[in-house]
Chain A
Amino acid sequence: MSAPFFKFGLFGDETSLVVAFVIGIAFGFFLERAGFGSARKLVSQFYLSDMAVFKVMFTAIVTAMLGVTYLGWIGFLDLSLVYLVPTYLAPQIVGGLVLGFGFVIGGYCPGTSVAASATGKLDGIAFVAGVFAGLFVFAEAYPLLKGFYESTPVGTVTMPQVFGLPYGLVVFAVVLMAIGGFYGASLVEKKFAAPAKE
């Protein structure tokens, strides 16, 4: 047996939708369990009073990275078949900033807004409506944005390629960054802790 399962034909297009559905439900469940169905929790990340978003996201990155590394090492996962999003430097920086502003203003990111809607939060539902309105505007404006959207292409690059370092060393460095980051986050939380409510 080899992974990626879909690429090796273990299941077809139709079944892949079922798999995506199950993974999506699990993703939403764990977002909710981490408290990310609440805009208050999410936004407190930006006030540095609660670093849960940082910790959960970085934990997910490290877990997935170690999993991919070891599964590839034992020959179970063919990493060359894993899809990498191609890098377009300028548009992705601008896109990241737009998403970040939306996150601070709206209190959600696209994934968490869906999780919040699922539990019936009105602000979550409003946010999802906003996401679709934004999608519609973007799609209609795409001919105007196309030039910028496809500018500064770098191709599909990975960190080991950019830095010219061995793959394993980058993995170790990211683990160190995470552990240091978690420690730093706990200090930041103490410093910026929200004043206790009366």
Chain B
Amino acid sequence: MKTMLSRLGLNQKLALAAFVLGVLAIAASPYRGTTATIDTKALALEVATEADHVEPLDLAAWVIAGRADYRLVDLRGEPEFGQYQIPTAEHFPLATLMEAGLGRNEKIILYSDGGVHSAQAWLLLRASGYKAAYVLEGGLDEWKEQVLFPILAEHPNDFQRARDERLKSVAAFFGGQPRTGSRGGPVAMPMPGALPAPSVVGPASPGGARPAARKKKEGC
């Protein structure tokens, strides 16, 4: 065997190496399948430190600022999405999330009604190599509580007055209505479906195609 190898020239040796690698590659698929392994400790740490969360008011600020460096994913069913969605959201039900064409290098923010589905989707995404997946804290429920129908102080002091002004303008932008009183109190929250849709110059039309301006110029 050794003498056979030593009799080959460099070119033949390289050709042989390429052949062996080519044979082994028959079994290869460079695309990821549906199975994944996770670093449980790293993920547990992310969850424990709440590094996986985006606060509703932060997201609201990003939408208002027209930031284009994130993708907001609505995981709910079709009827719910049709009734109301956070501006700039795209609709991918949980079962189709992996084939949705999200990039592993993109910042992905997930939301559902509460937090359960988005947390599950977060784990799936993180496990299959999506590095920057986040969960909207509290989901759409908390979005309503904090952004659309925030509770203003009944007898505000100076600090609260400034905060309430900010909350009012944010709620107005998204077509919501601030409330006074206690959380979950007597003021009934209107169905968000009845809200006028805000005109957002955002990164995406809801559920629609990505605008061309967002894409980096590639190729030569």
A interface vs B, CB < 8 Å?
2, 7-9, 62, 66, 68-73, 75, 77-81, 83, 85, 166-169, 171-172, 174-176, 178-179, 182
Contact = CB atoms under 8 A, between A and B. Distances in A.
B159 to A, nearest CB: 38
B129 A175 contact: no
A85 B104 CA distance: 20
A83 B218 contact: yes
B108 to A, nearest CB: 14
Interface of B: 11, 15, 18-19, 21-23, 25-32, 103-105, 129, 131, 218-219
Contact of A79 (B15, B30, B105, B218): B30
Given A2-B129, A66-B18, A75-B129, A81 B105 contact: yes
Given A69-B25, A83-B218, A172-B25, A179 B15 contact: yes
Contacts of A8: 104-105, 131
Nearest to B102: A80
Given A66-B21, A167-B31, A172-B25, A78 B129 contact: yes
Contacts of A75: 32, 129
Contact of B28 (A2, A62, A171, A179): A171
A81 B30 contact: no
Contacts of A175: 18-19, 21-22, 25
A58 B30 CA distance: 21
Contact of A179 (B19, B31, B32, B129): B19
B29 A166 contact: yes
A106 B218 CA distance: 29
Given A78-B104, A83-B219, A73 B28 contact: yes
21 contacts: A7-B105, A8-B104, A8-B105, A66-B21, A66-B22, A69-B25, A69-B28, A69-B30, A70-B21, A73-B29, A78-B104, A79-B30, A83-B218, A171-B22, A171-B25, A171-B28, A172-B25, A175-B21, A175-B25, A179-B18, A182-B11
A169 B28 CA distance: 9
A7 B107 CA distance: 12
B91 to A, nearest CB: 21
Given A72-B30, A176-B22, 12 more contacts: A7-B105, A66-B18, A68-B30, A73-B25, A80-B103, A81-B104, A83-B218, A83-B219, A167-B28, A169-B26, A174-B22, A175-B19
A66 B218 CA distance: 23
Query: Which of B19, B105, B129 has the largest count of A CB atoms less than 10 A from its CB?
Result: B105
A66 B25 contact: yes
A9 B105 contact: yes
Contacts of A9: 105
A73 B30 CA distance: 4
A172 B30 contact: no
Contacts of B22: 66, 171-172, 174-176
Nearest to A55: B11
A79 B28 contact: no
Nearest to A84: B219
Given A66-B25, A78-B104, A83-B219, A167 B19 contact: no
Given A2-B104, A175-B18, A70 B28 contact: yes
Contacts of B103: 7, 80-81
A62 B25 CA distance: 12
A167 B18 contact: no
